[in-house]
Amino acid sequence: MQLLKKTNYYRMKNIFILLFLTICFIPACTPKKPKIQYNAQSVDSLHLHYAKGFSIKYYADYKEVIVYSPWEKGTIYARYYLVNDAKTKTPPDGTKIGIPLKTIAATSVTQFEFLSLLDEINSVNAVCSPKIIYNKNINKRLENGKITDLGDAFNINIEKTLQLKPNAVMMSGYNQNDPYALRVSQAGIPVIFNNEWMETSLLARSEWIKFVAAFYNKELLADSIFNQIASQYNEMKNKALGVEKKPHIMSGSNFRGTWYMPSGQNFMAKLYADAGANYFYSNDTTTGSLPLNVEMVLKNFSKTDLWLNCNFNSIDELIKADAKHALFSPVKFKKVYNFNKRLLPSSANDFWESAVARPDLLLSDVIAILHPELLPNYELVYAQKLK
């Protein structure tokens, strides 16, 4: 009996030891999942001259496109990995997108000229707010039912987007937690944030053609196009540098008692400086627009030589909107200009569309107005004089 008890004791002890060893060593014996190897060494990176809002690095199997936050310096707003083969493995910290894109929903008119210059305008199969679109190709295809209307850019129709299933949706980044962008992304449609509008110079905005080109494998073409635009812009700028007299100018329009003028670091203020203008707020260090009351504008601008970017179509309309407008010298002497020459009855204005990609033409317009002797016989593209 005593022997049986000892035998049972040692048997139970051996069982416990075996269980202990099994529990402890099972993880060690389980084969580990192999780590996915990425080619982390970039081969090259895209050289940018002016744009600050994005970067592109090239790896052996994919491109890494980073969009930086315009609001939080040094932080990444979005990251994309562009692959020619869907089977290519990419790091998990970004959105994987198959390229070249065949279809795209373009939600801002500022994107059309980039696509036109790259000969990819036909890839657009959805747009927002058709009434403000100037591009003839887009409007024709809208009429023929080849392009889907997704509604207002700030209230995009999610159901239509999901039904259409474009390769990607390109939109301006206002809010990274946009519910539309979130739901579309969850459905497997990549959202590409194009933040060119947050750059502080016209050439920097124009250089975003390289960003768009990356999604079509057309960086070399984009580089060639941009170099030509930048060259023409700087050639015009150099012409204006040597002028002896710089006319004093005012800009913007009075909207319900508030006058929005470009701040010193606004791209329009820089345009005026490059064109050889004397602008009161040129030394201001802020970006965006300056909301001013009419009295302040009268104090600082009543004796200016020219009024540019006025959002009215005639002198009579300007004075009817506010009798105080008649107190400004440019109104008295009919030296007021808008950028409405390419304006459709629908209110679509090419100034807000193609001029983003073609700052060289816009600068030429302003120089021709300020210093007509520098560009004799020049025909204005976007600007026109109020009558």
pLDDT digits (tens, 9 = 90+) for 250-282: 999 888 889 999 999 999 999 999 999 999 999
| Within-domain flag for 5 | no
pLDDT tens per residue, range 105-158: 999 999 999 999 999 999 999 999 999 999 999 999 999 999 999 999 889 999
Task: Give yes or no: residues 193 and 313 share one domain.
Answer: no
Answer yes or no: is 62 within a domain.
Answer: no
Say if 363 falls within a structural domain. yes
- Say which residue, 27 or 288, is predicted with more confidence: 288
Query: Which pLDDT band holds residue 17 (cuts at 50, 70, 90)?
Result: very low
Position 299 scores a pLDDT of 95
Q: Is 233 within the bounds of a domain?
A: no
- Number of other residues whose CB lies within 10 A of the CB of residue 219: 19
Write the DSSP string, 85-139. Answer: STT----TTSEEEESS-S-EEE-SGGGHHHHHHTT-GGGEEEES-GGG---HHHH
Residues 312-321: what's their mean pLDDT? 95
Does residue 142 sit in the same domain as residue 249?
A: no
In this structure, of 23-37, 92-106, 213-227, 359-373, the range with the lowest mean pLDDT score is 23-37
The per-residue pLDDT for 15 is 40
d(CA 381, CA 355): 10
* 360: β partners: none
Same domain as 153, residue 117: yes
The residue among 228, 260, 280 that closes a domain is 228
Regarding whether 279 and 208 lie in a shared domain, the answer is no
Judgement on whether residues 253 and 324 belong to the same structural domain of the protein:
yes
Residue 251 sits in the same domain as residue 158: no
In this predicted model, what pLDDT tens digit does every residue of 158-216 receive, in sequence order?
Answer: 999 999 999 999 999 886 678 899 999 999 999 999 999 999 899 999 999 999 999 99
Q: Which amino acid type is present at position 387?
A: K
From 167, 195, 228, give the residue that closes a domain.
228
Overall average pLDDT of the 71-77 stretch? 90
* pLDDT reading at 60 higher than 80: yes
Residues 104 and 224 in one domain: yes
- The reply to whether 271 and 374 lie within a common domain is yes
Mark which of 202, 228, 254 sits at the end of a domain.
228
Indicate which CATH number applies to the domain containing 194.
Answer: 3.40.50.1980
Per-residue confidence (pLDDT) for residue 176, from 0 to 100: 62
In a domain, 147, yes or no: yes
**Length of the chain, in residues:** 387
Phi-psi region of 74 (alpha: psi -120 to 50; beta: other; left: phi over 0): left
Task: Tell me which of 69-73, 79-83, 217-221, 368-372 is least confident.
Answer: 69-73
The domain tally of the chain equals: 2
* 103 and 196 together in one domain: yes
Examine residue 72 and state whether it is found in any structural domain, yes or no.
no
Of residues 120 and 289, more confidence is placed in 120
Residue 328 and residue 381 in one domain = yes
Q: How far is CA 282 from CA 21, 233, 253, in A?
A: 78, 20, 18
- Based on the domain organization, do 194 and 272 belong to the same domain? no
Mean pLDDT, to the nearest integer, of 210-230? 98
218 and 261 both lie in a single domain: no
Residue 135 lies in a domain: yes
Is the residue at 78 inside a domain?
Answer: no
pLDDT score of 31 = 43
Token pair recorded at residue 134: 């100037």
Alpha carbon separation from 33 to 22, 38, 57 (Å, rounded): 21, 15, 29
Q: Which domain holds residue 339?
A: 243-385
pLDDT exceeding 70 applies to what percent of the chain?
89
Residue 175 has what pLDDT?
Answer: 60
The number of helix segments (H) and strand segments (E) in the chain equals 13, 18
